[in-house]
């Protein structure tokens, strides 16, 4: 009917049907086309069709122009005035609409009558469906509907199968993410979800099938181009960046993928803004240029990755999936049977099944790569656990050997004490008795330090065991390193009576750092030294302060009134020959600790008692005046809690 239909162009959309009587309609045959066509601007036209029935019976024919965005059909009434008979269109119709009944207009012309009909057609999208005016009689019209419906059934079936497989991939990915959280699985799930929405919208472009988006036909305008940018560029680059661990392996490529994803995200927002304003052609142009511009950089990245497949097996899955989609999409675009030229927009490509196959292969390879990545992560985790178990066994063996050595040392020291005691008892002179007392005190001091060592080592090894049982392997390794340092220093200090204040502060810092890790950072501490003190020259008794600090940590971190324990150690020069050490915590205090103590009587911590004995022996051996004062803060102020330990150490 092209030669019988006259056309009037109304690009500004300012004319109404009543204004058309004086307008000039022309035969514009190039306007019509039997296939999809690319639009670079809005197509707003009026069609005029005049039908004369020369037969002696009334006739009924169906006028069909194609499926367009907005169609208004005007028919003459009994007085010859044009009235709006139907307003329809792809962007107008909602649910429960008989599409064929709307887009094929029944024209009733009586015998000997002549009628003129007007059709106002507006297409705003970047592509225009087939636009070919045809008139059918009822019999041929039914056959036309049957042929067109069969033509789309196979393509819709392919899309439905693809959607089913994508849903399976999405469910498997979500399940794997719940078991082994990994951002690459999260990005892949976003990619699959975008594909599901994108291909579900393809059903809307086939008006003969049931669609999920009848309630909002404009939705496909707002997701068509942005969906392709989101799936094939934005989520693709985010997934590849995380899946291949580009930051650790290929830093330069990681920057390219990261900045590429940011640029794509900006383009998506720009396209959504353009589409929301009604400019659909510019968004399609943006995607076309994006596709052609990125082909070479993506190909270069593929070549760079292919050269490293031996060192990174996951690259194969990523390359196979990416190349499958790229090659098949290019093949589909080159062999496009639609007369729209070489275009990367799937909406204009036929055969469509080739590109669908590329998408499916890419999703399949990516899903297989994620499964392989999860397998590698599981193997690495198992290997790490085995190494930590071996290390734990070594630690236990070390603990056993140290305990045996310490027990032997105690026995030897005890035997030596008894021997010296028997020798000294035989001496009756006062000078010999003084010498006897001095040697006896020195031997007892060594024995007491030997008792301190297993007590401290036991607590440290328990802390390491706790981290390993909690699978906190990073903290366990850090704890083990610091613990080794403390073992060496403890054994070293056990052979010395005095050490420098600098060594003591370093030792306490390392010890408190270990306790802070054991309490999962629920404690804080500070060590403040008077600036006038020369820590490298000043000497203090070895291992004298550690039991009090340990006791403060034990009882100072268990106060329910404070969310975090606080321990402060201050070293002050109170006189020219007197050093003051103040250990203060915000724990439950001495009296409350005794009231709440639930340990058996035979399992009591002897660290503080040992330190008191050592202080007495040091005073006896070196005529020093070490003073130790323990203060319960709650006794001074009812609303306060904690303990203050004040130690005065004279300088020899």
| Range in 19-23, 428-432, 623-627 with the lowest mean pLDDT | 428-432
388 CB-near residues (< 8 Å, 6+ apart): 468, 473, 476
Give the pLDDT confidence of 282-294 residue by residue, as tens digits.
888 888 888 888 8
Mean pLDDT of 563-570: 87
Mean pLDDT of 17-38: 85
Over 125-158, what HEC string results?
A: CCEECCECCEEECHHHHHHHHHHHHHHHHHHHHH
Contact 184, 373 (CB under 8 A): yes
157 conformational bin, left if phi > 0, alpha if psi -120 to 50, beta if neither = alpha
pLDDT for the residue 435: 64
- Please, what's the b/e burial string for 88-117 (b: 16 or more CB within 10 A of its CB; e: otherwise)? bbbbbbeeeeebbebbbbebebeeeeebeb
* Burial bucket for residue 69 (CB in 10 Å: 0-12, 13-18, 19+): buried
Mean pLDDT of 488-516: 85
Q: Percent of the chain, pLDDT > 90?
A: 18
pLDDT for the residue 364: 92
Does pLDDT of 209 surpass 60? no
Mean pLDDT of 346-354: 74
164 CB-near residues (< 8 Å, 6+ apart): none
Contact 43, 87 (CB under 8 A): no
Q: Please give the mean pLDDT across all residues of the chain.
A: 82
Q: For residues 214 and 350, what is the distance between their CA atoms, to the nearest angstrom? A: 24
Instruction: State the virtual CA torsion across 277, 279, 280, 286 in degrees, nearest 10.
Output: -110
Strands 37-38 and 127-128: antiparallel
- Please, what's the b/e burial string for 14-50 (b: 16 or more CB within 10 A of its CB; e: otherwise)? eeeeeebeeeebeeeeebbeeebbbbeebbbbbbbbe
Give the pLDDT confidence of 450-473 residue by residue, as tens digits.
545 565 567 677 777 777 787 777
Give the pLDDT confidence of 64-80 residue by residue, as tens digits.
998 888 999 999 988 87
| Range in 202-211, 273-282, 469-478 with the lowest mean pLDDT | 202-211
Half-sphere exposure of 472 (CA within 13 A, CB side): 15
Q: List, in order of start, the domains of the chain with CATH numbers.
A: 2-136 (2.60.120), 149-385 (1.20.1070), 468-650 (3.30.565.10)
pTM tops 0.85, yes or no: no
3-state helix, strand, coil in the chain (%, to 5): 60, 15, 25
pLDDT for the residue 7: 93
pLDDT for the residue 432: 54
pLDDT for the residue 205: 56
316 SS3 class: helix
Q: Percent of the chain, pLDDT > 70?
A: 88
- The structure tokens listed for 436 are 């006897």
Q: How far is CA 220 from CA 38, 43, 197, 343, 369, in A?
A: 17, 19, 10, 19, 31
């Amino acid at each position: 009917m092209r030669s019988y239909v006259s056309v009037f162009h109304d690009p500004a959309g300012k004319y109404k049907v009543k204004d058309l009587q004086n307008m000039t309609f022309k035969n514009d045959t190039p306007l019509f086309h039997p296939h999809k066509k690319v639009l670079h601007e809005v197509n707003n036209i009026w069609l005029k069709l005049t039908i004369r029935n020369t037969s002696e019976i009334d006739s009924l024919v169906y006028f069909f122009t194609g499926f367009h965005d907005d169609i208004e059909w005007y028919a003459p009434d009994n007085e010859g005035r044009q009235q709006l008979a139907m307003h329809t269109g792809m962007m107008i119709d909602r649910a429960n609409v008989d599409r064929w009944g709307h887009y094929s207009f029944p024209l009733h012309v009586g015998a000997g009558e002549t009628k003129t009909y007007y059709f106002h057609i507006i297409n705003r999208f970047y592509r225009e469906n087939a636009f070919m005016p045809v008139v059918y009689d009822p019999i041929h019209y039914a056959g036309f509907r049957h042929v067109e419906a069969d033509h789309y059934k196979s393509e819709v079936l392919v899309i439905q199968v693809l959607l089913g497989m994508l849903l399976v991939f999405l469910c498997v990915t979500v399940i794997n993410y719940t078991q082994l959280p990994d951002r690459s699985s999260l990005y892949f799930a976003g990619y699959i979800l975008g594909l599901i929405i994108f291909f579900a919208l393809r059903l809307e472009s086939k008006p003969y099938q049931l669609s999920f988006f009848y309630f909002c036909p404009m939705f496909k305008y707002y997701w068509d181009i942005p969906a392709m940018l989101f799936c094939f560029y934005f989520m693709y680059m985010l997934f590849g960046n995380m899946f291949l661990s580009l930051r650790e392996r290929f830093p330069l490529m990681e920057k390219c993928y990261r900045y590429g994803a940011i640029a794509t995200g900006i383009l998506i927002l720009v396209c959504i803004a353009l589409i929301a304003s009604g400019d659909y052609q510019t968004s399609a142009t943006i995607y076309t240029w994006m596709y052609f511009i990125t082909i070479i950089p993506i190909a270069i990245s593929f070549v760079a990755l292919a050269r490293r497949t031996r060192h990174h097996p996951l690259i194969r899955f990523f390359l196979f999936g990416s190349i499958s989609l790229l090659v098949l999409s290019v093949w589909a675009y080159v062999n496009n049977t639609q007369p729209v030229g070489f275009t990367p927009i799937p909406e204009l490509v036929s055969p469509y099944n080739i590109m669908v196959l590329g998408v499916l292969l890419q999703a399949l390879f990516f899903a297989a790569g994620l499964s392989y990545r999860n397998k590698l992560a599981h193997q690495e985790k198992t290997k790490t656990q085995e190494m930590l178990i071996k290390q734990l066994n070594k630690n236990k063996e070390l603990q056993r050997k140290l305990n045996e050595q310490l027990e032997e040392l105690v026995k030897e020291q005890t035997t030596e004490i008894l021997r010296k005691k028997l020798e000294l008892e035989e001496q009756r002179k006062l000078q010999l008795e003084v010498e006897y007392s001095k040697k006896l005190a020195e031997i007892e001091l060594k024995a007491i330090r030997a008792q301190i060592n297993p007590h401290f080592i036991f607590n440290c090894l328990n802390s390491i065991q706790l981290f390993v049982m909690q699978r906190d392997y990073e903290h366990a390794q850090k704890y083990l390193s610091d613990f080794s340092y403390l073992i060496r220093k403890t054994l070293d200090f056990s052979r010395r009576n005095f050490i420098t204040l600098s060594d003591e502060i370093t030792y306490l810092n390392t010890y408190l750092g270990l306790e802070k890790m054991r309490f999962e950072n629920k404690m804080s501490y500070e060590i403040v030294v008077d600036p006038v003190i020369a820590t490298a020259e000043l000497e203090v008794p070895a291992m004298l302060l550690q039991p009090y600090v340990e006791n403060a940590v034990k009882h100072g971190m268990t106060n329910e009134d404070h969310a975090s324990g606080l321990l402060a150690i201050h070293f002050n020069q109170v006189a020219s020959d007197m050093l003051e050490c103040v250990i203060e915590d915000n724990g439950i205090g001495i009296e409350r600790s005794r009231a709440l103590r639930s340990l058996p009587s035979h399992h009591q911590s002897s660290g503080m008692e040992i330190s008191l004995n050592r202080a007495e022996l040091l005073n006896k051996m070196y005529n020093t005046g070490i003073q130790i004062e323990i203060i319960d803060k709650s006794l001074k102020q009812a609303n306060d809690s904690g303990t203050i330990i004040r130690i005065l150490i004279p300088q020899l």
